[in-house]
Amino acid sequence: MSDLAPPAESEPMFELPLELAIDTNVARRLIAEFIRGQLRQAGFERAVLGLSGGIDSALVAFLVAEAIGADKLLCVMMPYKTSSPASQGDAEAVVAVLGCAVELVEITAMVDGYFGASGPDGVTAGAGTPGAGGADALAASALRRGNFMARMRMATLYDRSVSWRGLVVGTGNKTESLIGYTTLFGDSACAFNPIGDLYKSQVRQLSAAMGVPEVVIRKAPSADLWPGQTDEAEAGFSYPVLDRLLYWRIDRRRSVNEVVALGFDRVLVERVDRMVAGAEFKRQVPPIAKIGPRTAGVDYLYPRRRPGSSRA
Amino acid sequence: MQPLRIALAQIAPRLGDLEANVARHLDLLAEARAGGAGLVVFPELGLTGYQLQDLAGEVSMRLDDPRLAQLAAATKPGLSAVVSFVEESADHRLFIAAALLEDGALRHVHRKVFLPTYGMFDERRFFAAGDAIRATPSQLGVGMGLAVCEDFWHVSTPQLLALDGAQLLVNVSSSPGRDLALTSEAGLGTATSWRSLMRTYAQLTTSFVVFVNRVGVDESLSFWGGSEVIGPTGAPLFSAPLFDEGLYMVDVDLADVRRERITLPLLRDERPELVAREWRRLIAERAGLTADTTAEPGSAPGFDVAVER
């Protein structure tokens, strides 16, 4: 609000490493063309995405609304019973700004239907009746539960994709994709992804430029799988440091010794290298055993969209 | 010499849809003619789209293809146009081709010589490389030099074309936008690189450079447009917007070439016989036929200095 004086010592909303700063006007334009192109080539006019209340999905909602209009976007909020109520409030704030369609799909019954009733914190094992997953599933780890939740959200979005007649838009950023902080066939599943080549710091920069609500930009990133969880506490590093490290190692092809010379901690560098290598399988289409004369992805190589492939 | 109106067709081709793209070309040729253009330039693979992969062999055309004849017919009377497509030779090699169509006929074909096969590019897998860099006469009253995208990332291309008589260098491109660093000119590293290349070539060859780059999206790639006309002094005369589809008209005075070449006689002073002599020496040395005359004793092949680094 322009008529209110800023707080005396207003903190910047986020830390943006200099080498990661992008021209946000060009990025908006490029991404808008990308979104329109993907939809047109597939014969779709509408899009659907999962809106968590976090910055990544908020930014994608803004980008899609800018590209095709908010009236063609459906945001689906899919909380589990332990999801933070603040997350839903933040998601609603995004929807309020954009004026797009919104649906609430609680995934609690889907998840508990498989794992059975969980303990009081909603994540650890409880003593209730087993679900479809059997008695063993009652004691399922947070990892199993978190992955399952992500896949229930995926299943919901692909169902809504049919009823809304829109493509599922991906909301994963480059940082989490590189370190493998994603669920295979879960949150990474999509028809196309407009922000998958933007580091978290760049997601923040672009979000600020587009007017994503400040509360969404400022809050600590979280998978929101259990109360109080944050990405940075769980992984043990800050996004600006991780983004810079990945940028120098991958985009700028610096060796381990060279990034250590730039000031990065060698233990962190080696750990992140292992995470990136260990997540390679999550970023690629599964290999098919080569047997016949032409094999998809090997020597049968067509663009995803070509004449005849549009549903329109 | 008459002023020339050049129409830059900064279009978004439909991937693999030859018929739709031919129709779009015909529409734009008519629009450019109505707007008084003498030359219309379409981007690399404007008739097919870029990221073809195995579609390349399904959209290829022989030079006697009736669809090319239809496009050529649209240049009659008096229009010149550069179009780009997949050319299939009689022995079934596929080339990325740019053709000059003039006054109803196909006048010249350039086959892309340099096929990027690194990073995001995989052209050599699907295409054969051209074997000639030749200027062509044009009804516009100047020599023209056609080149396709990566051809201009090799300094020999514009130099050969200019020495062969081109005064108007035409580069048609499908350049994907990337590197959005805030520090780049126009916020796009690709645009910065291309602009410095083309201004340099225009100045060093004292020729007009016409650059037409496509827009739109193929798969992951977003093409950035930014088509340009640069005068023989190296000064940009026109820069099309980034990412906007459009038919942009630019008027140039071809007499600028004469003025600039008399003021700055760089081409006069070129030494092609010297360059050819040194190239012949390098070729023999690189093939191991003779010793590397510029290397220190004990240095590894291809590396002039003997010391360990």
pLDDT at A5: 47
How far apart, in whole angstroms, are the C-alpha atoms of residue A251 and residue A244? 10
Is the pLDDT score of B302 beyond 90?
A: no
Residue B149 has pLDDT above 80, yes or no: yes
> Does one domain contain both B172 and B303?
no
Interface check for B308 against chain A (CB to CB < 8 A): the answer is no
Rounded mean pLDDT, A61-82:
97
pLDDT in tens, A138-175: 889 999 999 999 999 999 999 999 999 999 999 999 99
pLDDT score of B260: 97
Does the pLDDT at position A2 exceed 50? Answer: no
Percent of chain B topping pLDDT 70: 99
At A56, is the pLDDT very low, low, confident or very high (cuts 50, 70, 90)? very high
| B51 and B108 co-located in one domain | yes
pLDDT at A1 over 50: no
> If you average pLDDT over residues B207-218, what whole number do you get?
97
Q: What is the ipTM of this complex?
A: 0.91
Answer yes or no: do B304 and B247 share one domain: no
- Chain A positions contacting chain B at CB under 8 Å are 19, 21-23, 25-27, 29-30, 33-34, 36-38, 41, 300-307
Instruction: Give the closest residue to B33 by CA, choosing from B25, B21, B45.
Output: B25
Cα separation, B141 vs B38, in Å, equals: 11
B297 or A97, which is more confident?
A97
In tens, the pLDDT along A90-117 reads 999 999 999 999 999 999 999 999 999 7
Please, are residues B16 and B59 in contact by the beta-carbon 8 Å criterion? Answer: yes
B184-198 pLDDT, tens per residue?
A: 777 888 999 999 999
Q: Which of B183, B187, B217 sits opposite A38 (nearest CB)?
A: B217
pLDDT at A4 over 60: no
Option in B55, B181, B183 nearest A303 (CB)? B55
Judged by CB atoms closer than 8 Å, whether chains meet at A37 and B217 is answered as yes
**Rounded CA separation A210/A65 (Å):** 11
Together in a domain, B13 and B156: yes
Least confident of A109-118, A179-188, A242-251, B217-226: A109-118
Lowest mean pLDDT among A225-239, B120-134, B159-173, B196-210: A225-239
Q: Are residues B138 and B213 in the same domain?
A: yes
What Cα–Cα distance (Å) separates residue B231 from each residue in B165, B175, B204, B234? 17, 22, 11, 5
Domain that holds residue B90: 3-264
* Number of domains making up chain B: 2
Angle between the B189-205 and B156-163 helix axes, to the nearest 10 degrees? 30
CA B262 remoteness from chain centre: 26
Identify the pLDDT of residue A6. 47
- Neighbour tally for B155: CB within 10 Å: 12
Q: Given pLDDT bands bounded at 50, 70 and 90, which one contains residue A3?
A: very low
Same-domain check for residues B236 and B297: no
Q: What is the pLDDT of residue B304?
A: 82
Same domain for B298 and B226: no
Asked if the Cβ–Cβ distance from A22 to B187 is below 8 Å, we say yes
Quick one: B300 and B241 in the same domain? no
Q: Which residues of B touch A307 (CB under 8 A)?
A: 14, 16-17
For chain A, list the domains and their CATH numbers.
Answer: 18-234 (3.40.50.620)
A272 — pLDDT class (breaks 50, 70, 90): very high
pLDDT of B308 above 90: no
Report the pLDDT value the prediction gives residue A119, as an integer from 0 to 100: 58
Same structural domain for residues B220 and B76?
A: yes
pLDDT at A129: 82
Cβ–Cβ < 8 Å for B266, B206: yes
Question: In this structure, what CATH number is given to the domain that contains residue B185?
Answer: 3.60.110.10
Cα dihedral A251, A255, A261, A265 sign:
positive
Q: Which chain B residues have a beta carbon less than 8 Å from that of A302?
A: 53-55
Indicate the helix (H) or strand (E) that contains B308.
Answer: none
- Distance from chain centroid for Cα A176: 8
**Candidate ranges A72-76, A218-222, A284-288; pick with highest mean pLDDT:** A72-76
Tens digits of per-residue pLDDT, A8-37? 456 788 999 999 999 999 999 999 999 999
Q: Which residues of A touch B47 (CB under 8 A)?
A: none
Identify the helix (H) or strand (E) that includes residue B42: none
B298 SS3 class: coil
Q: Residues B47, B179: one domain?
A: yes
Question: How large is the average pLDDT for residues A108-131?
Answer: 76
Per-residue pLDDT at A291 exceeds 70: yes
Residues B235, B204 share a domain: yes
DSSP calls for chain A: -TTSPPPTTPPPSS---GGG-B-HHHHHHHHHHHHHHHHHHHT--EEEEE--SSHHHHHHHHHHHHHH-GGGEEEEE---TTS-HHHHHHHHHHHHHHT-EEEE---HHHHHHHH-SB-TTSSSB-SS--BTTBGGGGG--HHHHHHHHHHHHHHHHHHHHHHHTEEEBP---HHHHHHT-S-TTTTT--SB-SSTTS-HHHHHHHHHHHT--HHHHHSPP---SSTT--HHHHHTS-HHHHHHHHIIIIIS---HHHHHHTT--HHHHHHHHHHHHHTGGGGSPPP----SSS-BTTTB---SS-TT----
User: Which of A22, A34, A303 faces B182 most closely, judged by CB atoms?
Assistant: A22
Same-domain pairing of B301 and B191 = no
Q: Average per-residue pLDDT in chain A?
A: 92
